[in-house]
């Protein structure tokens, strides 16, 4: 029974092998038309030889509708050559062919055997030959559909054999037996060929499946190779591949596009304070936000570290708006575990072809624009101009010289006095860093200090300059106070803080004479990371001061939160002291400090009128060029020991240790 069921399934065109069925159908599209052509030609030939011997209805009347049907089927198959059918449709078509082929075989064998009753030996021999060559030809035409070939063979050869056996004529019996045996052999050859055909199709299908799987794996590997594992954004490789492709696409057109580079602000302090794992979580959240922006014609990628890039098909306005939108989205607060974190982002953009026509040049110039955003207007977007490159080339020359500088020999601390009012005596100094480079000459602090922060040289510079300043201040007569500015990097580095306190211990200086100063902007930008370091400094007995006071955006709140001993009013208010608003700000700050019992230093005093106004406002500490510029230590030391004065101002005999500071910038 199993074999019977298997045979029936096979005869019905087994749907379990759709790839074989589709291949069978594709072969039949060229062979079936030949089968119908063979039938028509042979039938017409038999009808012609029997035209005079057989009745008209037999030679023409019956043949005509047979030829019409055969012609229609011939035309259908010819038209199907250009049609592509799926496996299910192909199986349905072949099942139809088996049925129709069987019906055509029944009609043609019945018609031809009916003609055998007419004519002489020649006509009868023609009928026997017609049946023999036609059935063999049909079997070969159906070699890729053995089910139909089998049906045609048995439908034709069994009646054929029976017809001639019944007539008891040896010649025709021998012909019928011969044709039957030949058909069996041909059918066996056909089945063997069909099995080979099936194996070939299955092997090709398996090979195609492997190739498809290989292509899928290659595509997946390519996707992974061009995808950042942390953020699931396209990576640096994808970015530059797309950039090269974009250049090739637009180089002979008038189209423009933008290359943007986005860098996170304040990411390093978070990463250093909370560890790389949390830093990675933060980068993942940034990536998730960027994926939800859905900006048209924009590809956003992670280039590495905390740097991202984008390509935009459009002009300057679209690019700048896109860059700013990305920066603003990144800058929104993040909630990771129990922590509320905040980072910013700055962006630089270079336009093709205005800024360059190669990937290397465009990326470098977008980086120049980014550097300008980072150093002059953090959180903003800058479109490249030639001025940016000129400035950065200068900065890079400074960076190279700074990397190889002998800090002990090339860097000096200059001292600007801080004066008590109204007695106008020097109670301490602010130390200003000076760099005399053997390669570049004099380099201004506002040029080399930001570069030192950005390149990681600030720790070494801070420690060595502070050590030199402490050693020199101890050489001056009296107990003068010393104040020292710390950068954002310094106040978030436990290593730097410990090194500074070790210098205080080794130099055996009273910690209360030391004031470390930081800007409120640097504190606010990294308050969570800086708080522990500031508490360590305060616990060691040194003083803490808030510089550039009044220019930030949350000064009053941080005065309460930070362990501050003094503030320094920004010089911009003194410059406009005749303005009622500026004078009111100074008065308010002085009164605030007095009520909070912290010292207040007014910087930027340039002339006697400003000084008189400050004294009238009962300000107690001031500094500026009206008293003295920053002087080299040798000049300060010589004047102090020779006359007890510096720039005509006496040194206070017993200074208020809360009143002074020394700074590097």
Q: Which residues contact 516 (CB under 8 A, 6 or more apart)?
A: 483, 484, 485, 486, 500, 537, 542, 543, 544, 545
Span 219-254, pLDDT tens digits: 878 778 889 989 999 999 999 999 999 999 988 888
Write down the pLDDT at residue 551. Answer: 67
- The pLDDT-based confidence of 426 (bands split at 50, 70, 90) is very high
Mean pLDDT for 546-564 is: 70
Write down the pLDDT at residue 506. Answer: 94
* Length of the chain in terms of residues written: 665
Mean pLDDT for 331-356 is: 90
Mean pLDDT for 4-18 is: 77
Backbone angles phi, psi at 379, to 5 degrees: 90, 0
Mean pLDDT for 409-437 is: 91
Write down the pLDDT at residue 558. Answer: 64
Mean pLDDT for 550-563 is: 65
Mean pLDDT for 317-336 is: 92
Write down the pLDDT at residue 654. Answer: 59
Nearest to 445 by CA among 422, 472, 420, 465: 465
Per the CB < 8 A criterion, the answer to whether 454 and 490 are in contact is: no
Domain covering 398-650, topology: TIM Barrel (3.20.20)
Nearest to 571 by CA among 648, 616, 626: 626
Write down the pLDDT at residue 470. Answer: 92
Q: Per the confidence metrics, is the pTM higher than 0.95?
A: no
Cβ count near 173 (within 10 Å)? 15
299 pLDDT more than 70:
yes
Write down the pLDDT at residue 282. Answer: 93
Mean pLDDT for 14-31 is: 84
311 pLDDT more than 90:
yes
- The pLDDT-based confidence of 662 (bands split at 50, 70, 90) is very low
Write down the pLDDT at residue 658. Answer: 40
Domain covering 236-384, topology: Alpha-Beta Plaits (3.30.70)
The Cα 78–Cα 477 span in angstroms is 114
Mean of the per-residue pLDDT values of the chain: 86
- The pLDDT-based confidence of 665 (bands split at 50, 70, 90) is very low
Range with the lowest mean pLDDT among 71-80, 145-154, 406-415, 546-555? 546-555
Side-chain-side CA neighbours of 608 within 13 Å: the count stands at: 0
Domain segments of the chain: what residues? Answer: 2-208, 236-384, 398-650
- Does residue 652 or residue 62 have the better pLDDT? 62
Mean pLDDT for 475-488 is: 88
- The pLDDT-based confidence of 557 (bands split at 50, 70, 90) is low
- The pLDDT-based confidence of 371 (bands split at 50, 70, 90) is confident
């Amino acid at each position: 029974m199993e074999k019977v069921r298997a045979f029936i399934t096979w005869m019905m065109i087994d749907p379990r092998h759709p790839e074989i069925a589709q291949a069978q159908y594709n072969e039949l599209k060229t062979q079936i038309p030949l089968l119908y052509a063979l039938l028509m030609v042979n039938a017409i030939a038999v009808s012609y030889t029997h035209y005079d011997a057989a009745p008209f209805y037999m030679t023409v009347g019956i043949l005509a509708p047979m030829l019409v049907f055969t012609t229609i089927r011939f035309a259908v198959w010819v038209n199907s050559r250009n049609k592509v059918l799926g496996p299910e449709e192909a199986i349905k078509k072949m099942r139809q062919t088996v049925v129709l082929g069987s019906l055509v075989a029944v009609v043609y064998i019945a018609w031809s055997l009916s003609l055998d009753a007419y004519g002489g030996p020649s006509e009868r021999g023609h009928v026997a030959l017609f049946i023999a060559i036609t059935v063999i030809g049909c079997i070969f035409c159906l070699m890729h559909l053995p089910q139909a070939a089998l049906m045609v063979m048995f439908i034709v050869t069994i009646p054929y054999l029976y017809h001639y056996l019944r007539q008891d004529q040896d010649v025709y019996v021998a012909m019928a037996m011969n044709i039957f045996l030949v058909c069996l052999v041909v059918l066996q050859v056909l089945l063997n060929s069909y099995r080979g055909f099936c194996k070939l199709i299955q092997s090709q299908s398996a090979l195609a499946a492997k190739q498809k799987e290989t292509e899928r794996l290659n595509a997946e590997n390519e996707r992974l190779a061009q995808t950042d594992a942390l953020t699931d954004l396209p990576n640096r490789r994808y970015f530059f591949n797309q950039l090269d492709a974009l250049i090739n696409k637009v180089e002979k057109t008038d189209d423009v596009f933008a290359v943007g580079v986005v860098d996170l602000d304040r990411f390093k302090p978070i990463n250093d304070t909370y560890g790389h794992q949390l830093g990675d979580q933060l980068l993942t959240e940034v990536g998730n936000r960027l994926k939800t922006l859905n900006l048209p014609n924009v590809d956003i990628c992670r280039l590495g570290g905390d740097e991202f890039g984008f390509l935009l098909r459009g002009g300057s306005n679209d690019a700048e708006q896109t860059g700013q939108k990305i920066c603003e989205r990144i800058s929104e607060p993040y909630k990771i575990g129990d922590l509320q974190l905040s980072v910013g982002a700055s962006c630089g953009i270079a336009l093709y072809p205005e800024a360059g026509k190669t990937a290397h040049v465009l990326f470098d110039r977008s980086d120049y624009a980014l550097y300008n955003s980072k150093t002059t207007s953090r959180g903003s977007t800058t479109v490249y101009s030639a001025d940016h490159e000129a400035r950065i080339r200068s900065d890079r020359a400074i960076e190279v010289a700074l990397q190889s500088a002998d800090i002990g020999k090339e860097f000096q601390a200059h001292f600007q006095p801080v004066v008590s009012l109204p007695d106008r005596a020097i109670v301490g100094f602010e130390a200003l860093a000076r760099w005399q480079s053997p390669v570049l000459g004099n380099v201004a602090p506002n040029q080399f200090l930001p570069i030192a922060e950005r390149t990681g040289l600030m720790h070494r510079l801070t420690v060595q300059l502070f050590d030199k300043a402490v050693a020199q201040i101890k050489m001056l007569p009296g107990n003068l106070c010393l104040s020292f500015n710390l950068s954002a990097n310094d106040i978030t580095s436990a290593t730097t803080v410990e090194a500074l306190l070790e210098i205080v211990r080794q130099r055996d200086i009273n910690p209360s004479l030391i004031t470390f100063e930081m800007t409120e902007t640097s504190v606010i930008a990294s308050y969570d990371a800086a708080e522990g370091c500031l508490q360590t400094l305060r616990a060691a007995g040194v003083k803490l001061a808030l510089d550039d006071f009044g220019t930030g955006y949350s000064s009053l709140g941080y005065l309460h939160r930070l362990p501050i001993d003094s503030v320094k009013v920004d010089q911009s208010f003194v410059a406009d002291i005749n303005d009622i608003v500026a004078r009111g700000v100074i008065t308010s700050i002085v009164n605030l400090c007095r009520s909070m019992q912290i010292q207040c230093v007014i910087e930027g005093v340039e002339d006697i009128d400003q000084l008189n106004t400050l004294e009238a406002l009962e300000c107690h500490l001031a500094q500026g060029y009206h008293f003295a510029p920053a002087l080299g230590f040798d000049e300060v030391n010589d004047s102090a020991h020779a006359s007890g004065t510096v720039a005509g101002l006496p040194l206070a005999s017993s200074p208020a240790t809360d009143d002074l500071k020394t700074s590097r910038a």
